[in-house]
Amino acid sequence: MPDATTRVLTAHVPLPLAEKVDRLAARLDRSRGWIIRQALAAWIEEEEARSSRSLEVPGSADARREA
Domain range list for the chain: 15-66
> What is the per-residue pLDDT across 13-63, written as a single tens digit (0 to 9) for each?
999 999 999 999 999 999 999 999 999 999 999 999 998 888 776 655 556
Query: What is the 8-class DSSP label of residue 67?
Result: -
- Any residues with CB less than 8 A from the CB of 42 and at least 6 apart, and which? none
pLDDT value for 28: 98
Confidence of residue 64 (pLDDT cuts 50, 70, 90): low
Provide DSSP, 26-67. HHHT--HHHHHHHHHHHHHHHHHHHHHHHHHHHHHHHHHHH-
DSSP state of 29: T
Greatest Cα-to-Cα distance within the chain, rounded to the nearest angstrom: 60
Residue 53 is predicted with a pLDDT of: 84
